[in-house]
């Protein structure tokens, strides 16, 4: 494809390195230029309108163009655009949001530390786990277990817990303290006649066998998304989290709930932990915490997790960690206002009310001759296409056809993912899936 000289498209190809593309051939297709957003819609630079079927990157809960958030950002920018929380300094917005998160947490949490992205947060959790192991005089208890198809980000430690080969290849990941167990994909991996609960017990037995093989005295933590999202949306089968947590408790292994996508209403409760009865030691939040209007993430930890960390810092004389943007005043002010909007407009309730039609339409799509299965809960779901000769070709063709029909959906290989803004109306759900069905008809 050729673009006008000096156009955004041409300058994008010239200057910007993009994630998740073949860099060398990027210029052959270039990018869709999105110019503005309103509600569940975004508009490209020709004025064409799209339903954002993935809420940006699973994140714009309150929709685009929410003026309350831009007003709060402007007011905070005018008053105090930046300050830090290093050493003995603080500011109101970071304290207000930390207090709010502690009040909202599904299990008693003691402290909050702010970061700017999900990767950064998960990376720091790994550092804290290692610091804590040293504090407890158990320096060998540092291995971390993630899951195949789990996604926790792309920095060195978080990328190592991520269980996706495409994120490891040639980056020399994973780090050697990281291990992975199976993705809890009952539909794809169950033995003949194996019920969901039997499958969940088998997944827990696999985890236990790994912990025993490594030596429980070497295994520190298990990281899991309540619903695995970026790996292709896998809703845990019945009893999965109960069985997994029993094994973790037995061997004194910490549980880190990565709520970066599930948090703030995606599964029909405020947190995925509530939907599945998960009692984590650490929770990681991002994305819908600010509807991604500002980069923001947060780590919440229990007192039992925090206390040894605090003792170690006293022993050393300081806590030798900190990011310039931790608790950034504009980001935390926007985060708090965003959570107020989620609560005042009952967007968690809207998720629950819209969910039955959302899931029914996914099921309808799965009955299409080009599709084979669906998965979903709340307002997050996926449809698997029957693969063509080359893996990913059907997904890519669908993604392009959906854009032509005015929907942005994300194809992960041949899995089509849907995760619209939580404000989506009944009519918008029908319009999105009508367009998606036409796109599916159009590909061959």
Using CB under 6 A, which residues numbered 10 to 29 contact ligand PLP?
Answer: none
Interatomic CA distance for residues 367 and 369, integer angstroms: 6
**Residue closer to ligand PLP, measured from CB, 85 or 124:** 124
Quick one: which segment of 42-50, 64-72, 223-231, 247-255 binds ligand PLP (CB under 6 A)?
Answer: 223-231
Q: Which is nearer to ligand PLP, 225 or 405 (CB)?
A: 225
| C-alpha distances in Å from residue 319, one per residue of 220, 256, 314, 371 | 21, 21, 8, 52
Question: Of residues 227, 261, 294, 296, which one binds ligand PLP by CB under 6 A?
Answer: 261
Stretch that binds ligand PLP, among 191-199, 225-233, 310-318, 377-385 (CB under 6 A): 225-233
Please report how close the Cβ of residue 283 comes to ligand PLP at its closest, in angstroms: 12
9 lies in the binding site for ligand PLP (CB under 6 A): no
Give the separation between CA 336 and CA 365, rounded to whole angstroms. Answer: 37
DSSP calls for 113-126? EEESSHHHHHHHHH
State how far the Cα of 440 lies from the Cα of 444, in Å rounded to an integer. Answer: 8
How is the beta sheet containing 410-412 ordered, strand by strand?
371-377, 380-385, 415-418, 410-412
Give yes or no for residue 151 binding ligand PLP (CB under 6 A).
yes
Please tell me the count of residues contacting ligand PLP according to CB under 6 A.
15
Q: Does 123 sit near ligand PLP (CB under 6 A)?
A: no
- Indicate which single residue of 144, 173, 203, 260 sits in contact with ligand PLP (rule: CB under 6 A): 260
Q: Is 267 in the site for ligand PLP (CB under 6 A)?
A: no
Give the angle 369-370-374 at the CA atoms, nearest 5°.
95
Whether the upstream peptide bond of residue 174 has omega within 30° of 0, thus cis, is yes
**Nearest to 146, CA basis, from 19, 231, 237:** 231
CB atoms within 10 A of CB 402: 26
Q: Is 76 in the site for ligand PLP (CB under 6 A)?
A: no
Q: How far apart are CA 400 and CA 411, in angstroms?
A: 10
Q: How far is the CB of 213 from ligand PLP (least distance, A)?
A: 27
| Per-residue CA distances from 163 to 35, 118, 175 (Å) | 33, 15, 12
Is residue 119 at the binding interface for ligand PLP, with CB under 6 A as the rule? yes
Kindly state whether residue 231 participates in binding ligand PLP, applying the rule CB under 6 A.
no
By CB under 6 A, name the one of 115, 117, 326, 332 that touches ligand PLP: 117
| Interacting residue ranges for ligand PLP, rule: CB under 6 A | 57, 117-119, 122, 151-153, 225, 229-230, 258, 260-261, 286
């Amino acid at each position: 494809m050729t673009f006008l000289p000096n156009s955004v498209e041409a300058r994008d190809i010239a200057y910007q390195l993009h994630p998740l593309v073949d860099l060398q051939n990027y210029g052959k297709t270039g990018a869709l230029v999105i110019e503005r957003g309103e509600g569940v819609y975004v508009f490209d630079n020709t004025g064409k309108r799209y339903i954002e079927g993935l809420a940006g990157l699973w994140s714009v809960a309150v929709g685009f163009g929410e003026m309350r958030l831009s007003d709060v950002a402007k007011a905070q920018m005018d008053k105090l655009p930046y300050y830090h929380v290093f050493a003995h300094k603080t500011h109101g917005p970071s304290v207000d949001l930390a207090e709010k998160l502690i009040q909202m947490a599904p299990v008693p949490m003691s402290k909050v530390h702010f970061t700017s992205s999900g990767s950064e947060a998960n990376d720091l959790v790994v550092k804290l786990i290692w610091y804590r192991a040293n504090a407890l005089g158990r320096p060998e208890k540092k291995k971390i277990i993630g899951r195949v198809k789990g996604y926790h980000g792309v920095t060195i430690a978080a990328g190592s817990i991520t269980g996706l080969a495409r994120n490891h290849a040639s980056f020399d990941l994973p780090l050697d303290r990281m291990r992975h167990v199976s993705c809890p994909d009952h539909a794809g991996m169950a033995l003949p006649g194996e019920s969901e609960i039997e499958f969940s017990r088998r997944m827990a037995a696999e985890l236990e066998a790994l912990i025993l093989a490594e030596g429980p005295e070497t295994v520190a933590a298990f990281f899991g998304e309540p619903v695995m999202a970026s790996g292709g949306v896998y809703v845990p089968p019945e009893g999965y989290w109960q069985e997994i947590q029993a094994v973790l408790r037995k061997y004194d292994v910490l549980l880190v709930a990565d709520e970066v996508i599930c948090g703030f209403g995606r599964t029909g409760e405020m947190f995925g932990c509530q939907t599945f009865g998960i009692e984590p030691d650490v929770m990681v939040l991002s994305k819908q915490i600010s509807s991604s209007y500002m980069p923001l993430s947060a780590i919440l930890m229990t007192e039992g997790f925090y206390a040894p960390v605090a003792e170690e810092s006293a022993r050393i004389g300081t806590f030798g960690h900190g990011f310039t943007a931790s608790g950034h005043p504009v980001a935390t002010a926007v985060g708090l206002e965003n959570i107020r909007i989620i609560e005042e407009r009952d967007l968690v309730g809207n998720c629950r009310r819209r969910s039955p039609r959302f899931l029914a339409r996914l099921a309808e799509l799965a009955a299409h001759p080009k599709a084979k299965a669906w998965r979903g809960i709340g307002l997050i779901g996926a449809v698997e296409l029957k693969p063509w000769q080359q893996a990913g070709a059907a997904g890519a063709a669908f993604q392009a056809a959906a854009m032509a029909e005015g929907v942005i959906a994300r194809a992960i290989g041949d899995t089509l993912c849907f995760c619209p803004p939580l404000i989506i109306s009944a009519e918008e759900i029908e319009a999105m899936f009508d367009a998606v069905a036409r796109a599916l008809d159009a590909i061959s």
